[in-house]
Amino acid sequence: MTDSKNLSRGLDHIGITVPDLEAATAYFATVFGAEIEQEVWAKSAKPAKGERVEQSLGLPAGAEMRAARMLQLREGPRIELFEYWAPEQQPPLRPSDYGLQHLAIFVDDMDAACRRIEENGGELMSGPHRMPDPECGPDDRYRYTRAPWGTTIELVSYRRD
């Protein structure tokens, strides 16, 4: 019998396709303090494209990966940003669509994070809301936001003992 504790070690990173790698990097750096960890595929390189790339990544015919960059937050999994071009690109998923619908980022100061989001072209949705867990403290909150390119990002702020 397989020991389920040995099936995974945790979340390594989350991949997000963005329309402009530099603008998205600046957004995550300014709003969340993310730092560039690695240039995975430099914009100065030729785009990754062709049948092998399409098959390995499940891309539509003619799509190309123009750049990829790994970011690191202070804690938790990394964020890999991708800049793709494809003949027919779709808008970001809404929370009601199938697939990865949002990522949640811990913030120490909810109000400051909200200000930085608005100052950098993001959108604040309703809230902040009190955490629903009865064990949470009175100042433990969450709030959904949208990045300028449409990705939903949840802010989570709670006391860490």
pLDDT attached to residue 132: 82
Structure tokens at 49: 């494209």
In this structure, what CATH number is given to the domain that contains residue 60? 3.10.180.10
| pLDDT category of residue 137 using cuts at 50, 70 and 90 | confident
User: Tell me, what's the pLDDT at 2?
Assistant: 61
Q: Are strands 152-157 and 103-106 parallel, antiparallel or unpaired?
A: parallel
Q: Can you give the pLDDT at residue 48? A: 94
Residue 71 pLDDT > 80, yes or no?
Answer: yes
Examine the domain organization and report whether 118 and 154 are in the same domain. yes
Q: Report how many domains make up the chain.
A: 2
Query: Does one domain contain both 79 and 112?
Result: no
The pLDDT of residue 11 is 87
From 57, 72, 88, give the residue that closes a domain.
88
> Is residue 27 a part of any domain in this protein?
yes
Query: In angstroms, rounded to a whole number, what is the distance separating the alpha carbons of residues 19 and 83?
Result: 6
Mean pLDDT of 125-143: 84
Final residue before a domain boundary, out of 69, 88, 107:
88
| SS3 of 44-112 | CCCCEECHHHHHHHCCCCCCEEEEEEEEECCCCCEEEEEEEECCCCCCCCCCCCCCCCCEEEECCCHHH
- Same domain for 98 and 152: yes
User: pTM of the predicted model, to two decimals?
Assistant: 0.88
Tell me which residue range forms the domain holding 96: 91-161
- Specify whether 63 is located in the same domain as 100: no
Residue 145 lies inside a defined structural domain of this protein: yes
Among 145, 18, 2, smallest CA distance to 84 is for 18
Mean pLDDT of 92-116: 90
Mean pLDDT for the stretch of residues 28-41 = 97
The residue out of 23, 55, 88 marking a domain boundary is 88
pLDDT over 60 at 31, yes or no: yes
Domain check: are 18 and 78 in the same one?
A: yes
Nearest CA-CA partner of 139 in 96, 107, 103, 91: 107
Residue 58 neighbours by CB under 8 Å, 6+ apart? none
Q: What is the residue-averaged pLDDT of the chain?
A: 90
3-class secondary structure, 114: helix
Mark whether 143 and 104 lie in a shared domain: yes
Cβ atoms of 101 and 152 within 8 Å: the answer is yes
